[in-house]
Amino acid sequence: MTNAVAALTTIPLGAPTEYGEAKAPRVYRLEKSFAVVRFEAAGNGRIVFLPAGAELKVVGSSRLSECFEVLWQDQLYSIFRVDLLGPWSNPRSNPRRLGSTKSKIMKACA
């Protein structure tokens, strides 16, 4: 008897599907205030408003349907995909990646 072995493919749950995997932005800046849900330790959720200008880092899918889990000021929030991916939010490159890449380019040019 033979055993079949299949490789598992890892799919990043929080990556927006309209972007290719390699180009998926992970940080978004909101241009207007949005309501989000913050789950407390007891499991209760409460609605809070994030301010315009908040930079949100996508960390994965949320427990809530049609939502992403995002990180802002060291707190996890759930935000609807349509709110995060709408025209009022700007995808940003990861600031840490930009800084390290910029310093490498500067050193190479010196």
Does pTM top 0.85 for this prediction? no
Give the pLDDT band of residue 95 (cuts 50, 70, 90): low
Q: Which residues of 23-40 are buried (b: 16+ CB within 10 A; e: fewer)?
A: eebbbbebeeebebbebe
Whether the pLDDT of residue 58 is over 70: the answer is yes
Whether the pLDDT of residue 18 is over 80: the answer is no
**What is the CATH architecture assignment of 21-109?**
Roll (2.30)
- Residues of the chain with pLDDT > 90, as a percent, come to 39
pLDDT reported for residue 37:
94
- Residues of the chain with pLDDT > 70, as a percent, come to 61
∠ Cα 106 92 98 (to 5°): 15
